Amino acid sequence: MKRSYLTTPIYYVNAEPHLGHAYTTVVADTVARWKRLQGYEVFFLTGTDEHGDKIVRAAEARGLTPREYVDRIAEKFRQTWPLLHIQYTRFIRTTEPDHKRVVQHVLQLLYEKGDISFGEYEGLYCFGCERFLTRKELRDGLCPDHRTPPTPLRESNYFFDLSRYQNWLIDHLQKHPDFIQPPGYREEVLGLLREGLEPLCISRPKSRLSWGIEFPFDPNYVTYVWFDALLNYLSGIGYPDDPSWEKWWQVAEHIIAKDILKPHAIYWPIMLRALGLPVYRRLHVHGYWNLNQAKMSKSLGNVVRPGDLVSRYGADRVRYFLLREMAFGQDAEFSEEALVLRTNAELANDFGNLVFRTLSMVGKYCQGRVPVPGEETPEDRTLKERLLSAVENFAREMDHFRFHLGLSLLNEAVREANRYVDHQAPWELNKKGKQDRLGRVLYTLLEALRVLAVVLWPIIPRSSELLLGNLGLSPAEELSLERALTWGRLKPGQEVQRGKALFPRLERPSFEVPDREKDSAEEKVEEKTYPLEEFKKWDLRVAEIVAAERVPGTDRLLRLTVRCPEERTVVAGIAEHYRPEELVGKQVVLVANLKPARIRGVLSQGMILAARDEKGLKLLVPEETVTPGAEVG
């Protein structure tokens, strides 16, 4: 059995989850799902880091005991992840008794081995970092991360001698060039190692800090929070009592951001080596999400809350954006504008459109069933081959955490499929009665959707499952990369649902996400019926367009002046389908009693009706001219 063990950092509970935490956790979830698609058994660990000074101070600031406080915030983290469709195997908290036992067990072992010594130390302590800083680390006399002057402290403490293992670690990094990814971070670590390692202070006197794990051999001390936290990666899989920990440990990969490179790339491998355990397999390091060029962080207060984004845009759009926008390893700038633009372009216009066109044509021309395909032509073969080779390339990029490149390749294939629809023009084939050819074209497109739904599952799981369902397939059976690449799984005659648009276009950042995307349970709600009185509430009238112009700064919006019979202004999202000049004089159907809404600064007093199909959008017009304002119904 192929196995994979993936971890996120365990997050400090001194603040609520923000988009930076969400990114790492989405990456881990995506990789976990990607591995599952490839047949791996996966253990995905995340959790919270709950000891230390920071936490005590955060609790005090809220008038709570540390225990009450950590319970509260850990719960917030736990509740946030399902909103983003994150499915972890275990959520670990460092205040759990089994984790504490592991930390004490390790301290005892290393103490007995002689790796831990006791001594007096005088140094410069940064309370933000919760550690002593070396003079070399200071910038202008200040802590480089917190920009505060460190406090001189003289204390007796326990130290872990890192320098003993320094050469071994340099050698390990040289022998395993892909131990730290991307390679730039490996160079950084080698640089730090060559400067030499000082002993790591791994205790805190209880007189100064009591919120921590007590030393097993000295009750006057608690464990330094990093020494405690790193061990979660072992306690989380049951080390040392549950024998299954070993099978997971052999395949461990950690995912972090560059802020915590040093503890993960230096302290942790050395701790493992000292314990006589193999080091983890790989460390994946990403950059920062910035907001207006500054790192998004709780200390700067410039955070975006994942829950807010999900309620506005839906989890799949957020996941897609995070993975598509950031080149793993480098920093990226976050903005809602960019999220809307990116997902409108690639999820709504390209992928969503392909899904919508294909499923509605199958509904219309094939009675909603997978058609019997006629003979395959070179065009069909080309589309199939390009798609399958795009998936192969996508797979390679996914394996290397280059999600943004993978998605860009896949999107290229989606655009190719949309061009295929335009060239093959199934509506013409239908008109001319070329059933065999029509069957082949639509079959090819349905297969393309099946393949795309499976390979996109790690990124947009909910939409992918909805699409598979609409194709009449069961996600449990189809979610395998090998099966995805077996062309021709769809059986002619099988029923296909048109479903609702997967990714309706969003107008601008503040627009609400369609409710459907928030909760797929709604998909299952039966079609509702209403008494006629309900319908009569709507004031539908014929309106005549007397003027039309583009709304500046948008590509979709037209500002229309209509007579119905009074004059009104209506903003309509039809600029991609109609030029302003061809609208003047047309009669349309207006919903006249909608609450006026301001759209891009223009007050819109109604909505005009249109129908949409795979060829585009068409306004509803009366068969013959009627008096403006005539009632519709």
Map the footprint of ligand MSP across residues 39-68, applying CB under 6 A: 49
77 is a site residue for ligand MSP (CB under 6 A):
no
* Closest separation in Å from C-beta 341 to ligand MSP: 21
Per CB under 6 A, the list member of 4, 5, 6, 23 interacting with ligand MSP is 23
Q: Which of 302, 430 has the CB closer to ligand MSP? A: 302
Kind plus residue range of the DSSP H or E element containing 144: none
Q: Which of 20, 573 has the CB closer to ligand MSP? A: 20
Per CB under 6 A, the list member of 5, 6, 20, 280 interacting with ligand MSP is 20
* Closest separation in Å from C-beta 257 to ligand MSP: 3
Q: Coil, strand, or helix at residue 444?
A: helix
146 marked as part of a ligand binding site: yes
Q: CB under 8 Å to 308, separation ≥6 — which residues?
A: none
563: left (phi over 0), alpha (psi -120 to 50) or beta: beta
Q: Which of 229, 460 has the CB closer to ligand MSP? A: 229
The answer to whether 298 is a known catalytic residue is: yes
The answer to whether 400 is a known catalytic residue is: no
CB under 6 A: which stretch of 15-23, 270-278, 365-373, 608-616 binds ligand MSP?
Answer: 15-23
What type of residue sits at position 283?
Answer: L
The answer to whether 129 is a known catalytic residue is: yes
Q: Coil, strand, or helix at residue 572?
A: strand
* Closest separation in Å from C-beta 252 to ligand MSP: 13
Distance from C-alpha of 197 to C-alpha of 200, rounded to nearest angstrom:
8
Catalytic residue among 76, 258, 298, 500: 298
Q: 443-474 burial by CB neighbour count: b if 16+ within 10 A, else e?
A: bbbbbbbbbbbbbbbbbbbbbbbbbbbbbbbe
11 is a site residue for ligand MSP (CB under 6 A):
yes
Peptide bond into 149 cis (omega under 30): no
Q: Residue 177 in contact with residue 183, Cβ under 8 Å? A: yes
Give the pair of three-digit tokens for residue 345. Answer: 């372009």
DSSP-derived secondary structure for 456-498: HTTTSHHHHHHHHHHTT--HHHH--HHHHTSTT-SPTT-B---
Per CB under 6 A, the list member of 5, 9, 200, 235 interacting with ligand MSP is 9
The answer to whether 18 is a known catalytic residue is: yes
Q: Which of 329, 368 has the CB closer to ligand MSP? A: 329
564 marked as part of a ligand binding site: no
The answer to whether 432 is a known catalytic residue is: no
CB under 6 A: which stretch of 17-25, 53-61, 237-245, 481-489 binds ligand MSP?
Answer: 17-25
Catalytic residue among 35, 54, 129, 518: 129
Q: Which of 92, 589 has the CB closer to ligand MSP? A: 92
Distance from C-alpha of 574 to C-alpha of 471, rounded to nearest angstrom:
30
* Closest separation in Å from C-beta 11 to ligand MSP: 4
146 is a site residue for ligand MSP (CB under 6 A):
no
Other Cβ atoms closer than 10 A to 253: 18
Tell me the per-residue interface mask from 190 to 229 with ligand MSP, x by CB under 6 A, - otherwise. Answer: ---------------------------------------x
Measure the CA dihedral 329/333/336/342, to 10°. Answer: -60
Map the footprint of ligand MSP across residues 285-344, applying CB under 6 A: 288-289, 295-297
Residue nearest to ligand MSP (CB): 20
**DSSP category for residue 560:** E
Give the pair of three-digit tokens for residue 67. Answer: 């225990």
Per CB under 6 A, the list member of 109, 138, 260, 277 interacting with ligand MSP is 260
What type of residue sits at position 335?
Answer: S
201 marked as part of a ligand binding site: no
Whose CA is closest to 148, among 117, 125, 164, 171? 125
256 is a site residue for ligand MSP (CB under 6 A):
yes
CB under 6 A: which stretch of 3-11, 179-187, 364-372, 440-448 binds ligand MSP?
Answer: 3-11
Q: CB under 8 Å to 150, separation ≥6 — which residues?
A: 124, 125, 126, 133, 138, 142, 143
Q: Residue 52 in contact with residue 110, Cβ under 8 Å? A: no
Q: Which of 128, 580 has the CB closer to ligand MSP? A: 128
Binding residues are 126, 129, 143, 146
In the complex, which residues of this chain contact ligand MSP (CB under 6 A)? 9-12, 20-21, 23-24, 49, 229-230, 232, 256-257, 259-260, 288-289, 295-297
Binding residues for Zn(2+) are 126, 129, 143, 146
Q: Which residues are catalytic?
A: 18, 21, 126, 129, 143, 146, 295, 298
